[in-house]
Amino acid sequence: MIVQLALAAALAGSPTTLPREVTIAAVRGEARIPVRTDDAGSPVMPAAPLIAALDGRLRLDGGWAEVVVADQPFRFLVGAPLYLFSSQLLPLAGPASVQGDSLFLPYQFVAEILPYYLAERYRWDPRRARLEELRGRTTTLAGRAASNPARLPSGLRPGHVVTVDPGHGGVDPGNPGVFFPRGTHEKDVTLQIGLLLRDELERRGIAVRMTRTTDTLIALGDRGGYCTEACDLFVSLHVNSLARRRGYTDVRGFETFFLAEARTEDAARVAKMENDAVRFETGPSPADAAGGLDFIVKDLQLNEHLRESARLAELVQRGLDGAHTSENRGVKQAGFMVLTTARRPAVLVEMGYSTNPQDGRLLTTPTSQKALAASIADAVVEYLREYERKTGTAADSGIRR
């Protein structure tokens, strides 16, 4: 499904005006690339000097412009606001275009796309309009672990990447938050805790890609695409709720889901509630576009990521048990659309009930939000330690469960 992604200028901390130039701070030197607007008013940058500064390659192929940066190919459909990455067709705020004899790429490529998909290689400073190249090269997880024997304080090898997905956003508020402060919705709480989780993971030396950092809508079918080959895990954050009925405010607790057929009526209810967010989107639903949710689930059951997702869910649930004051409702499985496109171990965390007064306070209290984020980050670290042990990349000592 195609939805509008926010420009980098709309990201948190971004400048409100378009810069006149962007600085590419590469390992081999710096270059300043001008920013201009195309005939439609979209910000663009000249492709040739930009790709040269990124030490990349550029090739025109019919109506496509293929850009290879850090050995990762990005294909732009010239004249249309679309690009192809990791076999996924994704939207742009403005198209790549040819003006005269020169190709121009969207400013969004530098200010948003590269920092998201190659987070372990590039860092974007929106206030200075500066893209900084970090030392090292983008590789697979096994390659990253083998090429750098140094250990992080967390005991992990450097190079892990996790995608954090704050649920809902934009015109999709999620559930209204019966016991949240006035004007606060599920989308606000998931973003607050998602940003804290990003900070906690980065403090542990893990690179993070966010599906959103502002109040914007990302389609369910597009969220998993942020976890590509260079990504290790996908974590989606949500808040549970119940319809009004006798005793509904008494139900509380947290639970972590992985993708499989729902085994209980309540698990199916939660999946239906979260999947109903598709009504805020346009075009075919993610399940229809992929051939139906049942097909996806059956296909994933043959994939090792299903087993790994279940283990990640166990660790997240155990971690939350130490930080949450509510009931541990356990690990569950259900058919969440948001998990169907993540081709890595993926979980969806229901962090509590907005329809319960105790959970409502916990989910909106800054100290509790930080504790929840820290517990999930600890669970991610523990999972990755296990992964390193299983793949033979762990040190002989110093890494213990």
What are the extents of the domains in the chain? 8-133, 141-391
- Do residues 339 and 297 touch, judged by C-beta distance below 8 A? no
Domain pair 8-133 / 141-391, same fold: no
Topology, domain 8-133: Copper Amine Oxidase; Chain A, domain 1 (3.30.457)
- Do residues 210 and 119 touch, judged by C-beta distance below 8 A? no
10-residue stretch averages of pLDDT, the chain, 401 residues long: 35 57 89 91 93 90 88 90 81 88 92 85 90 63 44 82 93 90 95 95 91 89 80 93 90 88 66 59 46 43 68 94 91 75 84 95 95 95 90 44 29
State the average pLDDT for the chain.
80
- For 212-223, write each residue's pLDDT tens digit: 999 998 887 788
Residue 323: CB atoms within 10 Å: 17
Q: What is the spatial distance between Cα 241 and Cα 186, in angstroms, rounded to a whole number?
A: 10
Q: What is the pLDDT of residue 280?
A: 53
Q: Which residues pair with 237 in a beta bridge?
A: 166, 349
Q: What is the pLDDT of residue 394?
A: 47
What's the CATH architecture for 141-391?
3-Layer(aba) Sandwich (3.40)
- Do residues 100 and 93 touch, judged by C-beta distance below 8 A? no
Q: What is the spatial distance between Cα 33 and Cα 19, in angstroms, rounded to a whole number?
A: 10
- For 53-97, write each residue's pLDDT tens digit: 998 999 988 789 999 998 888 999 999 999 888 767 888 888 999
